Amino acid sequence: MGLFDKIKQAFTGGAKPEETAAEEKYDKGLEKSRKTFGDRLNALFANFRTVDEDFFDDLEETLIGADVGYEMAVKLSDELRDEVKLRNAKSQQEVAQTIVEKLVNIYEAEGADENNEINFAPEGPTVILFVGVNGVGKTTTVGKLAHQYKEEGKKVVLAAADTFRAGAIEQLQVWGERAGVPVVAGKAQSDPAAVVYDAVQKAKRDHDDVLLVDTAGRLQNKVNLMNELEKIKRVIAREIPDAPHEVLLVLDSTTGQNALIQAKQFKETTAVSGIVLTKLDGTAKGGIVLAIRSELKVPVKLVGLGEQINDLQPFDANAFVYGLFKDLIQDTDKTE
C-alpha cells in the first residue's frame, strides 16, 4: 500500500485519524503551504472543462507556481496524461484525486532510497558542518540543535567559524549560553580554519560527542567562500579522518525557488550531504521540499516548524506529506 492509500484509508468514513506528535507539528507548520496548494488546485479547477492539452499546460504552471519545481511539474504532467486515460477520468473530482495521488506517489518513489537520519560517528566526536548564505538561519539552527543534543545527554561543543559577519561570533555565544554548551571562538576577521582546528582539538581532548561548526555565508565572492569551506573540511579531515560526518546546507524555505538555486550552487562546489529547511511554518512555499527531492537528490534532514527552541525537527517524509496534502486527500475521499 502506497503512502497516498495509507493516508486516504485513514480518512475513510470521514473520521479524522489520530495524529502522532510529529504529524501535529507538521500539520501546524505546513498550514500556510497546505492552504496555498489547495487554493491553487481549486483555481485550476474553477475553469475546468475537459482534460486536454490546455489543461495540462495550466497544471504545469500551477505546480511550478506552488514551488514543486519544474522537473517534478513536467514529470507529473506527463505521467498524468497516461493515468487519466488509463482510468478514463473525466470529472473534476476524478482528475483531482488522480493529480494528488500521483504527486504523493512520485514524491514517495523519488525518496525510496533516501536516508533522512543524521550520520553519527561510530566512535569519537561527530562533526557536523553547517553551510549556506547569510540570513537563512544557520546560527539559530546550530543553537537549537545544540540544545536538543544537550537535552539528549550528549556532550556538545560549538565552533564559531563565521568570523567575518559582524556579530556572528557573539550570536553563537549567546546560543551556547542558552543551550549550556561551550563555544570555541577567535577574534573577528580571524582565520575560520584556525578556529575549527582549536574546536576539533577540544572535542578530541574532552571526549565530546558532537562538534557543530557554524560557517560564513559570504566572503568577497563565491570562489573565496567555497575555498574557505574546503580549507575547513581539510583541517577537520586531517584530525578526524572520516569527518565531517555531515555537511548540512541551510536553506530558507520562504525564498522558494531561490533556495533551490542556492542549493544547486552549493552542491556544485561542495559535498552537501543533507538539507536543513528553516522557517517552513512561516511560508506558503512548502512545495520546495518536493523540488529538492526531485531535482537535487539530496535528503532533507532537519526542518524548522516554528520559532521555539524545540521546533527544529528531524525530517519525517510521511508526516510532511500528511501535513501538506491531507486536506486534499480528505476532500477527494469525500467526493467518492
Binding-site members for GTP are 132-139, 214-218, 278-281
Among 139, 121, 119, which residue's Cα sits nearest to residue 130?
Answer: 139
Among 164, 121, 153, 127, which residue's Cα sits nearest to residue 142?
Answer: 127
Half-sphere exposure of 8 (CA within 13 A, CB side): 19
What contacts 114, CB < 8 A, 6 or more positions away? 293, 299, 317
Which positions make up the binding site? 132-139, 214-218, 278-281
CA–CA separation, 150 vs 94, rounded Å? 50
Do the Cβ atoms of 165 and 175 come closer than 8 Å? no
Half-sphere exposure of 52 (CA within 13 A, CB side): 5
Is 282 in a helix, a strand, or coil? helix
What contacts 298, CB < 8 A, 6 or more positions away? 249, 263, 267, 272, 273, 274, 275, 292
Tell whether omega for the bond before 244 is within 30 degrees of 0, i.e. cis. Answer: yes
